[in-house]
Amino acid sequence: MLPVLVLATLGAIAALYVRGDLNPILCDGPCGPEYVTAPVGLDEPEPAPDDPAPVGAGAIDVSQLAAAVRGPAGSTDLGGHTGLVALDARDGATLLDESSGTFVPASTTKLLTAFAVLAEWGPRATFATTVRRDGDRLTLVGGGDPYLTARPSKSAVERADLATLAAATAREVGRGPVTLAYDTSLFAGPAASPAWEDTYVSGGVVAPVTPLWIDRGRVGLGRSQDPSGDAARAFAALLRDRGVEVRGEPARGEASGTRVARVRSAPLARIVEQMLTDSDNEAAEVLFRQAAIKAGEPASFAGGAATVERVLDEAGVPADGLVLDDGSGLARSNRISPRTLAEAVVRASSTPRLGAILSGLPVGGFSGTLDDRYGRAGDARGLVRAKTGTLTGVHSLAGIATLPGGRPVAFAVMADDTEAVNPFVTQAAIDRVATAMVGCACR
């Protein structure tokens, strides 16, 4: 009986490992690609000893690639305004350029936000939420951690929480009594973009942008209208739970005095990965401002836009016609060209500082906003890593398509005149373009 139990236990552990459920233990969060077991049907055969070139080498035949995508890219299901750019991700050489001008990018905007914040801060940066004391006054200071939570979380990206901060504070201040203020002065400008629909905040589509919130401003199934105040009130309750007498209700105010406690976010690389995988609007807007802060710009929508434009210019990414009124892509006034997105992906693929952009891209058929797309084995499943973008009448996809032999193509396909087409039909048409690329031998 004992050997059977042992075998059953080992089998269960093996199943958990293959599924990735042990990643938080083995890798302190999502494991890197070197630890991931290839899904069934995607295992690459071992190369023969006399293969002439390693995986990923070899030219890409431009005429064959153009022929492969001609039908899908010309589909009327993509509406009346489409663009496609494909570049060899290894050297940036242009493979296809069927585009002119700019498009409404929707959430592919987040690629540029990620590019800017990683370029400015680097992947190891963290953001601190602190408590300062001045006499009997405590101030909770927002540090712009987009994934600050109320209580401890097992998530690799939700590293900091108010319960831990309250425990550390209580050890320093004793039983009080104290009053509590909260400081949100890190960010400037409006909390909602003037370019957003009026109902985005009031209707719970997105929370007001602030450097202090918990659970990304979520309250149940909706968003808080006062995320900073809610965080401060939750912190006051946590202090009281630990025996600290907190008098009155928290009030907004600027911090002073000495720091008595601090919690730090996950590294920026993990934050960017999560933001891209989930297409998290709130996190993107916080990172938009964090990029501006590091660049010395106002921590506002305008400051974020100026920072993105400068960072792209310094990286040699063309940004003709770029317009950014937010960092998430909710603003329909945003304009980005397919060339800008594809070139940004090329730079990210060759710049270690920007590596979290590629590792954070959803994987077709497996993760994030692509987990239910490219679902059939052999139908580009696992071979497309890309950021999606969707608004009413707008569909876009930008990332990496891997051709046979491991040859990577950085691409962006955009369509922003599709109101007359069923959105699921347009989404499928976009996917057929990417599928056509990965299915092309192109040798």
Please say if the pLDDT value at position 46 is more than 70: no
Mean local confidence (pLDDT), 148-177: 94
Dig out the tokens for 34 from the structure: 């070197």
Q: In which band, very low, low, confident or very high, does the pLDDT at 18 lie, cut at 50, 70 and 90? A: very low
Please say if the pLDDT value at position 182 is more than 70: yes
- pTM of this prediction? 0.86
**What is the pLDDT at residue 172?**
93
Mean local confidence (pLDDT), 356-370: 94
Q: Contact at 8 Å (CB) between 117 and 299?
A: no
Amino acid at 359: S
**What is the pLDDT at residue 55?**
43
Closest CA to 365 of 349, 381, 350: 381
Q: How many CB atoms lie within 10 A of CB 4?
A: 8
**What is the pLDDT at residue 376?**
67
Q: In which band, very low, low, confident or very high, does the pLDDT at 378 lie, cut at 50, 70 and 90? A: low
The shares of helix, strand and coil residues in the chain, as percent rounded to the nearest 5, are 40, 20, 45
Mean local confidence (pLDDT), 367-396: 89
Mean local confidence (pLDDT), 256-262: 96
CA distance 439 to 401: 10
Please say if the pLDDT value at position 15 is more than 70: no
Mean local confidence (pLDDT), 90-107: 95
Closest CA to 261 of 176, 147, 172, 184: 172
Helix (H, G, I), strand (E, B) or coil at 409: strand
Q: In what order do the strands lie in the sheet containing 394-403?
A: 94-98, 82-88, 407-415, 394-403, 384-391
Closest CA to 329 of 115, 111, 145, 116: 111
Percent of the chain with pLDDT strictly greater than 70: 87
CA distance 3 to 17: 21
107 is catalytic: yes
For the chain, give the longest Cα–Cα distance: 77
Burial-class residue 368 by CB neighbours within 10 Å (0-12, 13-18, 19+). Answer: buried
Please say if the pLDDT value at position 228 is more than 80: yes
**What is the pLDDT at residue 196?**
95
Q: What stretch of H or E contains 85? A: strand 82-88
Burial-class residue 387 by CB neighbours within 10 Å (0-12, 13-18, 19+). Answer: buried
**What is the pLDDT at residue 11?**
54
CA distance 352 to 118: 10
**What is the pLDDT at residue 321?**
96
Q: Which long-range contacts (CB under 8 A, 24 or more apart) does 228-232 make?
A: 228/142, 228/182, 228/184, 228/252, 229/182, 231/140, 231/142, 231/148, 231/150, 231/162, 231/182, 232/140, 232/180, 232/181, 232/182
Q: Is 29 left (phi over 0), alpha (psi -120 to 50) or beta?
A: left
**What is the pLDDT at residue 343?**
98
Reduced 3-state DSSP string for 329-341: CCCCCCEECHHHH
Distances (CA, A) of 311 to 119, 152, 321, 435, 437: 7, 35, 15, 32, 30
Please say if the pLDDT value at position 32 is more than 50: no
Determine which one of 75, 99, 107, 349 is catalytic: 107
110 is catalytic: yes
Please say if the pLDDT value at position 17 is more than 50: no
Q: How many CB atoms lie within 10 A of CB 178?
A: 20
Q: How many CB atoms lie within 10 A of CB 330?
A: 23
**What is the pLDDT at residue 48?**
45
Q: Provide the mean pLDDT of the chain.
A: 89
**What is the pLDDT at residue 375?**
75
Dig out the tokens for 440 from the structure: 């092309």
Comparing 362 with 46, the larger pLDDT belongs to 362
pLDDT in tens, 292-329: 999 999 999 999 999 999 999 999 999 999 999 999 99
**What is the pLDDT at residue 221?**
73
Mean local confidence (pLDDT), 157-171: 96
Q: Which of 46-50, 234-238, 331-335 has the lowest mean pLDDT?
A: 46-50
Please say if the pLDDT value at position 42 is more than 70: no
Determine which one of 224, 228, 265, 279 is catalytic: 279
Please say if the pLDDT value at position 3 is more than 70: no
CA distance 58 to 407: 7
154 is catalytic: no
Q: Contact at 8 Å (CB) between 308 and 324?
A: yes
**What is the pLDDT at residue 202?**
87
**What is the pLDDT at residue 412?**
98
**What is the pLDDT at residue 211?**
97
CA distance 246 to 179: 5
Q: Contact at 8 Å (CB) between 153 and 218?
A: no
Q: 132 has which bridge partners? A: 139, 259
**What is the pLDDT at residue 56?**
80
Q: In which band, very low, low, confident or very high, does the pLDDT at 408 lie, cut at 50, 70 and 90? A: very high
